[in-house]
Every structure is written in C-alpha cells, then in structure tokens.
Amino acid sequence: MTFTFSRAAALLMLAATAVMPMATLAGGNHGHDDQHAEEAAKGPNGGTLLEQGDIALEITIVEQGIPPEMRVYAYRDGQRLSADQWQVAVELARLGGQTERLSFVAEGDYLVSQQVVSEPHSFDVAIEAEVAGERYHWDYESHEGRTTISERLLALSGVETAVVAPRQLRFTETLFGVVQPVQDRVYSVSAPYDGIIEALHVSIGQQVKKGDTVATVRSSDTLQQYPVRAPADGEITALKLNQGDHTRGGALLELADLSQVWVDLSAFPNVLEKLRVGMPLSVLTMHDAEAGHDGVQTTLSYIAPTMTGGHIARARAVIDNADGQWRPGMHVQAEVLTEQRQVPMAVSVEALQRFRDMDVVFGRFGNTFEVRMLELGGNDGRYVEVLGGIRPGTEYVTRNSYLLLADVMKDAASHNH
C-alpha cells in the first residue's frame, strides 16, 4: 500500500509538535525536590506562584500604560510580607544566548525591577531570594510565542528563512497614464500652393523618410505639377484630403514621428508633493504590470504647474519607441522611485505576523522558533525597516510563518503579565 503525505497532513503534524509551557520549581538550600507542572500556580495578583515551605514568591509582569516591568510579592504562610523584609534578584535566559539580570527596589508592598522586561516575555527564569536571613532559589520556564519543529516537518510545511541584514529600501508611487505622441514630432503636411491633388502616394500607417514625396499637386495659378514632401521621418497617421480635392490652404495629411513618445501621467495632490523632475520611473503596459514584468526605464521630464478641474496634475516622461511597442492611446502604469535609502536592519514584509496586537517575525534558533516583537520604520512594499526588537544577523522565517503563528496561538492565552 502506498501513502502520500499532503500539505494538510503536514500542518496537522506541525500543530501536534507545539511546546507547552512548563514551570519547574527547584528547591534551593532547603533541599526541596524539583516539581514539574503543566501550568504554574497562580498567586493573588495573577502571577506565577513559587513556594518553598512556608515561603512563597509571586512573579508578575505589569505593562499596561508603562514599559513592561517585573513586580515580585513575598508571602509567609499566605500572609504578604512588607518589602523591607526580603530581597530578590532575577536572571532571565533568552533564546539566542541573551541573559538579563534584574535588580529590584521596594515600591509599596512589592519589589519592582529597575530594568524594563522587553518583549517577548519568554525566558528561563532563575530567582535568588533572601527572606529573614534564609536563602531561596527557584528555576522555572516562562515561554510564549515559542515552538519546536523537526527538520522533516519544516521541509514538508515549506518554511523558509533569511537573515536580518542591512538593505536598501526603494519607495515608489504608482501612477496611471496614457501614451501620447511627442507634440513637436507631429506634423500637419500642407501644399505650399493652392491646387488640385492629382495623386496621394501614401496611406495611413505607412512609414516614410524625410524628403519622400507624399503627394503630387497641380497649382491653380501655374497649372504646373509639384511634389509635396515629408518634413521628417515618421508614420502617416491621418489623411485629411483625397485625390482630386482642392487644397485651399488646408492640410493634406498628418505625419507623426513615433520613435519617441510621451507618457502622460495623472498625479493626485498626496503624490504630487513627492514628485520631482528627474526622478527615475519604470513604465509598464497594464498587461505587463498584472504579470509582474519589468518595465521600460526613464525619468520624469515634466510636472505641470497647474491642476486640472479634477484636482489632478499632469506629469510626463519620454520613452524610446523604435520598435513601435508603445502606441498612442495605450493605457500604462508607471512606478516612480521617490526615495531610496540604506537601513541597518530590514525584514521581508511577507514574514510579518500579528501576535498579541504586535508586529512580529519568528526568529529561528536551531529547531526552535520564537516571536520577536518589532519596532518598524519605513516600508517599501517588499521590505520593512526594523528599528528594534531583534538582533542583526538573526535568522527569521520569511515564508509560511503563519503556520508557526497558528501553532503558538494555542497557548498564547496562558501568558502572564
């Protein structure tokens, strides 16, 4: 019998590997045995309760309206001790080898950390306390946003990673417009003298060279024939008169040199203030834009000084059109590069997830993954600047990070503050 392993099955197995938080309370010099529980006991203030004999500590993290801080309460036989009766020091060991040592001062009937407890609040905790001359020690795990996945399941789920690194961000604005002939390359061809058109030697769409005969006219005054010649290279775009018509000073035909064309773009006020003549841009047909293809590179050559009745300003670029790809009247899209700058750290926009109403990526530490709450800067649509929350060089998940988020959300509700 042959079995096939589907993506859905991989996700089920991935979810089954979630690492649940476990509190380990180790006795210090009192010689208590280690205790293991799937969830630490809760104290009167909703924090983690650690007990040895008649002494108990309650560990809380408070962050509503203030930077996160740790507050510790002490109890003897269930009665709260005043803050001057005991001392405590806490060491937090995080994934990636970071260790933070917290010192405390008295505030009311509890001790409060002098250091901010940065996110994520996920660490192995070591506590040293002294109560009435007696020393106590506890170790326990306080994990959130963390999961461990085997290499096999990672491969099946399609998780990919990259490294937090410097990157150049490119900020663009999308404008829409229409291809137009270059105004001073459109020629209205007339006969120099009034007369009868005896022959038209061209048709619409025909390419001509400068000096080619496009019509023969018999002068009304001299009755002599004379040629009407093309004033430039180009394409016949319109015939204004027919053979046998009297010229009467009117145009015979229209000739356009379309080897270059204008791209007339529409810019709304919020975009207009970012535009400058000379900015590079990429012009794409609507089909190429939908297909994600690259466009033709050029620069902004003109920005109108006035607005239209629809509160739109006209911007313009010139593009080469030797192969005739860009036809007047064609609707196009342009990506204007309005800013580019180098940033010390950036992550892929695709990597971002929301965890506890914060923007996060999943850092990878071997086969363990953990959220990193990010302070974000500018976003160019592909990468976003990182101002804080993760170390340079950290490996992070770029693809399918939502699978890890689904995994860790199962125990997110147990996070203590």
Query: Quick one: 125 and 33 in the same domain?
Result: yes
Query: Quick one: 322 and 239 in the same domain?
Result: no
For residue 28, name the pLDDT band (cuts at 50, 70, 90). Answer: very low
- Long-range pairs, 220-226, Cβ under 8 A, ≥24: 220/193, 220/194, 220/195, 220/196, 220/246, 221/193, 221/194, 221/195, 222/193, 225/198, 226/192, 226/193
- Residue 246 main-chain phi, psi, to 5 deg: -85, 135
Q: Is residue 30 part of a domain?
A: yes
Closest CA to 230 of 266, 257, 263: 257
Mean pLDDT taken over the chain? 88
Q: Is residue 10 part of a domain?
A: no
Task: Tally the domains of the chain.
Answer: 4
Residues whose CB is less than 8 angstroms from the CB of residue 306 and which lie 6 or more positions away in sequence, other chains included: 313
Predicted local confidence at residue 59, as pLDDT: 96
Q: Is residue 317 part of a domain?
A: yes
35 pLDDT above the threshold of 50 = no
Query: Quick one: 84 and 202 in the same domain?
Result: no
16 pLDDT above the threshold of 60 = no
Q: Is residue 408 part of a domain?
A: yes
40 pLDDT above the threshold of 90 = no
Give the span between the Cα atoms of 75 and 56, in whole angstroms: 5
Stretch 72-78: mean pLDDT = 95
Query: Quick one: 238 and 378 in the same domain?
Result: no
Query: Quick one: 268 and 231 in the same domain?
Result: no
Query: Quick one: 347 and 336 in the same domain?
Result: no
Predicted local confidence at residue 31, as pLDDT: 33
Stretch 379-399: mean pLDDT = 96
Query: Quick one: 387 and 306 in the same domain?
Result: no
- Answer with the one of 235, 256, 277 that is the final residue of a domain: 256
Stretch 283-291: mean pLDDT = 81
Residues whose CB is less than 8 angstroms from the CB of residue 323 and which lie 6 or more positions away in sequence, other chains included: none
CB 33 within 8 A of CB 173: no
Helix (H, G, I), strand (E, B) or coil at 380: coil
Helices 401-408, 7-16: axis angle to 10 degrees equals 40
Give me the numbers of helices (H) and strands (E) for the chain, helices first please: 5, 34
Query: Quick one: 356 and 264 in the same domain?
Result: no
Residue located via tokens 């390359």:
185
Tell me which residue range forms the domain holding 207: 183-256
Query: Quick one: 314 and 327 in the same domain?
Result: yes
Helix (H, G, I), strand (E, B) or coil at 274: coil
Predicted confidence (pLDDT) per residue in 88-137, tens digit = 999 999 999 999 999 999 999 999 999 999 999 999 999 999 998 899 99
11 pLDDT above the threshold of 90 = no
Neighbour-count burial of 228, counting CB atoms closer than 10 A to its CB (0-12 exposed, 13-18 middle, 19+ buried):
buried
Query: Quick one: 382 and 264 in the same domain?
Result: no
CA angle 388, 144, 119 (to 5 degrees): 25
401 pLDDT above the threshold of 70 = yes
Closest CA to 59 of 104, 100, 19: 104
Q: Is residue 9 part of a domain?
A: no
Query: Quick one: 40 and 121 in the same domain?
Result: yes
Closest CA to 340 of 289, 388, 382: 382
Stretch 45-73: mean pLDDT = 94
Q: Is residue 13 part of a domain?
A: no
7 pLDDT above the threshold of 60 = no
CA 79 to chain CA centroid, nearest Å:
53
Helix (H, G, I), strand (E, B) or coil at 123: strand
Query: Quick one: 51 and 188 in the same domain?
Result: no
Give the span between the Cα atoms of 31 and 303, in whole angstroms: 80
* Statement: the pTM of the whole predicted model exceeds 0.75: no
Residue located via tokens 């009766």:
85
Predicted local confidence at residue 71, as pLDDT: 97
Predicted confidence (pLDDT) per residue in 184-238, tens digit = 999 999 999 999 999 999 999 999 999 999 999 999 999 999 999 999 999 999 9
Percent of the chain with pLDDT over 90: 78
What CATH number is associated with residue 56?
2.60.40.3340
